[in-house]
Amino acid sequence: MASTPVRSSAPGKVILFGEHAVVYGQPAIAVPVTQVKATATVDAAPAGSGLTIVASDIGERIVFARAPKKDPLAAAAQATLSYLSAREPDATLTIKSTIPISSGLGSGAAVSTALTCALAKFLGHPLEPAEVSKLVYKIEKIHHGTPSGIDNTVIAYEKPIYFTRGEPVERLNVGEPFTLLIADTGKPSPTKKIVDRVRRAREREAAHYDALFDQMGDIAAEARGAIESGDIETLGPLMDENHELLIELGVSSSLLDELVETARLTGALGAKLSGAGQGGNIIALVEDDFAEEVAEALKEAEAAQVIQTKVR
């Protein structure tokens, strides 16, 4: 067990192509966003004090031994301890995060990842990304019900991925780095609720929705080729097409559409909502020379925050 503090961080993420369709077995593409992160620090505590989890950003202090089973922070700690067959340590685990909550940037998965990695390191058993991803997936089920697994995977590996549910993770080689703007609506994107609504709609009209998901999967497959060969020009129109399909799926909103339109009109090569939708983010593909202008326009169009990131 470590006697000095141990720290681990995990990035945010965005989905470039294939959200929702990925729940139904279609491929999707996601990338880490290192401009925002969750950090977990574990400090040794006096013998007999047990484990306390402090989430200072949300003013939570959890005594592990008395925490409800479904508490996601306590559940992440429990999953890690069970996996390592370790006893509850005497320690304080402090979580901090700069990732906006419920915004489509993977805040829940990043917090669980940072917590799991830091606790495992503290116990002297650092984990591999595949192990972390598997543990965090269990916690994602508490947050989201039936997650595809894309969030925990991209965050644990911290690399662009081409993800198909139930298949081994494929890392994506980016032929030519490209710039994305991520504009947050500031409105929540309640993933579980939206995914449930899509599921119910699909139960009523399977053929229609499966056709939409198939088209989204085809777009993700084509985008993979374009990313790997550095054909950035092709990516923009594919993002636009994917956004139209997400509108048809019923997960966009007037603010998301407005931000997408603003990005396109001010010079983005393409734009779409990213994540579960309704609120959350849009992403826009931009040439570096236009990034500032598009970011300014997005802020004027009421984006709560605009993050610029390079995908490489």
Residues that bind ligand MEV (CB under 6 A): 15, 19-20, 22-23, 144, 147-148, 150-151, 191, 195, 275-276
Q: Residue 44 or residue 142: which is nearer to ligand MEV going by CB?
A: 142
Q: Residue 26 or residue 94: which is nearer to ligand MEV going by CB?
A: 26
Q: Residue 239 or residue 276: which is nearer to ligand MEV going by CB?
A: 276
The answer to whether 273 and 139 are in contact (CB under 8 A) is no
The DSSP bridge pattern shows strands 161-163 and 305-311 to be: unpaired
Distances (CA, A) of 16 to 27, 51, 60, 67, 96: 11, 38, 33, 36, 26
Q: Rounded CA gap, 133 and 110, in Å? A: 10
The answer to whether 119 and 1 are in contact (CB under 8 A) is no
Q: Tokens in use for 80?
A: 């890690």
Q: Tokens in use for 64?
A: 């592990």
- Active site residues per annotation: 151
Q: Residue 107 or residue 179: which is nearer to ligand MEV going by CB?
A: 107
The answer to whether 150 and 24 are in contact (CB under 8 A) is no
Q: Which residue is nearest to ligand MEV (CB)?
A: 148
The answer to whether 270 and 202 are in contact (CB under 8 A) is no
Q: How far is the CB of 143 from ligand MEV (least distance, A)?
A: 10
Q: Residue 52 or residue 148: which is nearer to ligand MEV going by CB?
A: 148
Q: How far is the CB of 219 from ligand MEV (least distance, A)?
A: 14
Q: How far is the CB of 150 from ligand MEV (least distance, A)?
A: 5
Q: How far is the CB of 174 from ligand MEV (least distance, A)?
A: 20
Q: Rounded CA gap, 77 and 147, in Å? A: 20
The answer to whether 163 and 169 are in contact (CB under 8 A) is yes
Q: Rounded CA gap, 201 and 181, in Å? A: 31
Q: How far is the CB of 93 from ligand MEV (least distance, A)?
A: 25
